[in-house]
Chain A
Amino acid sequence: MPASASRQDRTARQGSPGSEATPARLAADRRRRPDPATRQLAQGLGWFSLALGVTELTCGDAIARWLGMPRAGPLVRAYGVRELVQGAGILGSRDPTPWIWARVAGDGLDVATVLPGLGGDPRHRTNTVVALTALAGVGLADILCAQALSDAPLAPSERVRADYRNRSGFPKGLAAARGAARDVRPRDFTTPEGLRAWT
């Protein structure tokens, strides 16, 4: 009954830099080894941050009007700067974990900014709903990515790494073990020869 459980400590990890000041799951750690999917997702979010940052900087007033908050243009542009910083951080750092968590915090800020629009001008309510839906989707991706990064296994440092190179499990050696049980052929698990994958 095997399993592959790879979640990491949710509170603290030994040896994480800055672990006294910042919770380990939020702090950067060069030894994190996220799976390729999480790495790709983090990169995608980094590029998304840059694109959104540029859009918010250049079209801040238009976005604010679309949301029914015409005086919020400067705020949207400030959020654009935040997105650019986060995007650069994600794409430029060796471990994007704190930057992705920063995105999660930013999502919260965005939702808090847009949410009052639901009770505002009815002409813009649909736009507000569209914006909140988009924020929820991106926010979910951010949270999943941040959690997966925080849970990624750490590459063991050479100092603590145990040496398992001599653990063959074959007391008489690997060569003697090869094919030693070749005669085991239970009938109910044997594929008829005509149905075997050819080699």
Chain B
Amino acid sequence: MKALVWHGAQDIRCESVPDPRIEDDRDAIIKVTSCAICGSDLHLYDHFMPGMEKGDVMGHEFMGEVVETGRGINGALRKGERVVIPFTIICGECDQCRRGFFSVCERSNRNRHLAAKAFGHTTAGLFGYTHLTGGYQGGQAEYVRVPFADKTHIKVPDELTDEQVLFLGDIFPTGWQAAVQADIQPTDTVAIWGAGPVGQMAVRSAILLGAKQVVCIDRVPERLEMARAGGAITIDNATESTVERLNQLTAGKGPEKCIDAVGMEAHAPRALEQVYDRVKQAMMLESDRATVLREMIYVCRPAGILSVPGVYGGLVDKIPMGALMNKGLTLRTGQTHVNRWTDDLVQRIAEGQIDPSFVITHRGRLEDGPELYKTFRDKKDNCIKVVLRP
């Protein structure tokens, strides 16, 4: 079958790989009908995340049709059913899964000893996202093996199109969880750093959850325009001070809720901070640039909440713990507990409350993948979200 295969930094190729096969009773094989390039795939593309190996198949945002099931599926999935696959693989039985904390499933990461070394404890297995999270082959392919498939799926109604439901696998519930865990009140100003795909979903989620005003911060004009279309006030941090504008918008008190939809590759608005982080990164003294975290801690209203869906991989430096502690801020983080939210979100899509396909700007075939990775990474041609059809 054809798949997008990682070969190193900025080297992704569309090539033939062996077809996946059932390896465990709880496996299913999915024929992929649509898949997307996620912003966090770019961390792999740029090789910011450790743990990738040549030959790994990319992709964790995909959907398709069930073509084969293992003996242990027990009717939870049938051939021909149409499913979106969440990027977090879940067993559905461990303590964490039973509490709804699916992204920290204790059993689905087959390399949990590696994750435990890196993070102290294991987190869930992920598709196409390094060997730290299981080294599972990803969904930017014609077929994919889904482990624990009796639980790791989202059934979607036939009347909804692929493009309407594809993002239930990652960016929509990620933006949604980012907003929900910020505990948005009707009087809140919610500031969202990053107007990429997750930032766009977080903007819509904050609007649906009833925030008084939603502010989105980025420096890419077309992304800011899309955020405005979704009801956000925008700050172009290439031309204006984020802190000053946020204080203006909140009578000097700061936003009650802040969401980091940027993560480890943030750009600093101040020269000294930018040089500091890049030098430390170049010398391998830190792995992630914490610019947005620092800014959020500084500008957030005391007793406010910081929500971090943005991906961090390792170590950061110069976190203002004094401000975080003395301001009494709450920090909520984590990969998305996708299945916890998706029943509700499918319903909201079906009712027409939201149509996540608004974010798609580029479409292509799997063979176009390597070029579209580049286009997405470089923000060329107004690219915000890429969908591929194998």
- Distance of A40 Cα from B337 Cα, bound (Å): 41
CB distance from A37 to the nearest CB of B (A): 4
Binding site for A on B (CB under 8 A): 10, 38-43, 45-46, 60, 87, 129, 170-171, 174, 180-181, 183, 185-188, 194, 196-200, 204-205, 207-210, 219-222, 225-226, 228-231, 237-238, 256, 261-275, 278-279, 282, 301-305, 309-311, 328, 330, 332, 335-336, 344, 348, 352-356, 358-359, 361, 374, 377-382, 384
Contact call B180/A184, Cβ cutoff below 8 A: yes
- Inter-chain CA distance A113–B71, complex, in Å, is 73
Residues of A within 8 A of B (CB): 1-10, 14, 33-41, 44, 140-141, 144, 148, 153, 155-156, 160-172, 174, 176-182, 184-186, 189-191, 195-199
Measured between C-beta atoms, what is the minimum distance from A105 to chain B in Å? 20
Majority secondary structure of chain B interface residues (helix, strand, loop or mixed): loop
Ordered by A's residue number, 20 sampled pairs between the chains whose C-beta atoms are within 8 Å are: A1-B129, A1-B336, A3-B38, A4-B266, A5-B265, A35-B268, A35-B274, A36-B269, A36-B270, A37-B274, A38-B274, A155-B221, A160-B381, A161-B382, A162-B382, A169-B354, A172-B353, A174-B230, A177-B204, A181-B208
Is the Cβ of A37 less than 8 Å from the Cβ of B268? yes
> What distance in Å separates the Cβ of A146 from its nearest Cβ neighbour in chain B?
12
Number of residue pairs spanning A and B whose beta carbons lie under 8 angstroms apart: 235
- A167 and B226 within 8 A (CB): yes
If A35-B238, A197-B302, A199-B187 touch, whether A3 touches B42 (CB-CB below 8 Å) is: yes
Evaluate contact between A1 and B60: CB separation under 8 angstroms: yes
Q: How far is the CA of A14 from the CA of B378 in the complex (A)?
A: 12
Task: Report yes or no: B181 in contact with A189, Cβ–Cβ below 8 A.
Answer: yes
Q: Tell me what chain A mostly uses at the interface: helix, strand, loop, or mixed.
A: loop
A3-B43, A3-B265 as given contacts; A38 in contact with B378, CB under 8 Å: no
Query: In the complex where A2-B198, A3-B196 touch, is A8 in contact with B378 (Cβ < 8 A)?
Result: yes
Q: Across the interface, which residues of B come within 8 angstroms of A198, CB to CB?
A: 303
Are B171 and A2 within 8 A (Cβ)? yes
Q: A144-B278, A178-B231 are in contact. List 14 more A-B contacts (CB 8 A).
A: A1-B335, A1-B336, A2-B194, A2-B197, A7-B378, A8-B379, A169-B200, A170-B230, A171-B353, A177-B204, A177-B353, A179-B186, A185-B183, A189-B332
